[in-house]
């Protein structure tokens, strides 16, 4: 009844507070969820670079050579490396989210299994893209 006495949020009664992020043990569920957002924001930066690349290609050879030079520099390669992993993770974990939206895979063991599957698939997918990129 302490909440009623203090007058703060009368309706909630004596229910426990939601566990606070800083004292709650990180788990595959919460960490993967956070990474979905982080990679989503990261992919936004990648999307801007891809758009820039296309716009430059339409503008002309000079504009294209500039962005191509940026992306093929060592820093550009580092950004592309991160972008590839970020993208593959967001895609694989996104499919997991779509399955949840359709009503599948809510059991705790399934959530863990599909989580590991998404991470492994994302790693393989990124590796595949690197091979395609390097071989050509």
Partner 1 sequence: MTMLTPRARVRGLGSAKGGTEHWWTQRLSAISLAVLAPFFFIPFAIALGKPWVEVVSMYKHPFNAIVAALFMLAVFHHMRLGLQVVIEDYIHAPALRTGLLIAVKLGTLLLGFAAAFSIAMIAFTV
Q: Is 124 in the site for partner 1 (CB under 8 A)?
A: no
Determine the interface stretch with partner 1 among 14-22, 25-33, 57-65, 105-113 (rule: CB under 8 A).
57-65
Minimum CB separation from partner 1 for residue 89, in Å?
13
Euclidean distance between CA atoms 88 and 25, whole angstroms: 26
Minimum CB–partner distance for residue 10 and partner 1 (Å):
21
Site for partner 1 in 66-95 (CB under 8 A): 68, 71-72, 80, 87, 91, 94-95
């Amino acid at each position: 009844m302490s909440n009623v006495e203090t007058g703060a949020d009368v309706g909630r009664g004596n229910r426990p507070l939601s566990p606070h992020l800083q004292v709650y043990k990180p788990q595959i569920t919460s960490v993967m969820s956070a990474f979905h957002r982080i990679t989503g924001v990261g992919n936004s930066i990648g999307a801007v670079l891809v758009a820039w690349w296309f716009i430059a290609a339409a503008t002309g050879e000079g504009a294209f050579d500039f962005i191509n030079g940026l992306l093929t520099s060592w820093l550009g390669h580092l950004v592309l490396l991160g972008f590839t992993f970020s993208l593959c993770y967001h895609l694989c974990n996104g499919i997991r989210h779509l399955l949840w939206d359709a009503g599948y895979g809510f059991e705790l063991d399934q959530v863990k299994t599909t989580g590991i599957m998404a991470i492994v698939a994302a790693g393989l997918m990124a590796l595949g893209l690197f091979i395609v990129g390097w071989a050509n």
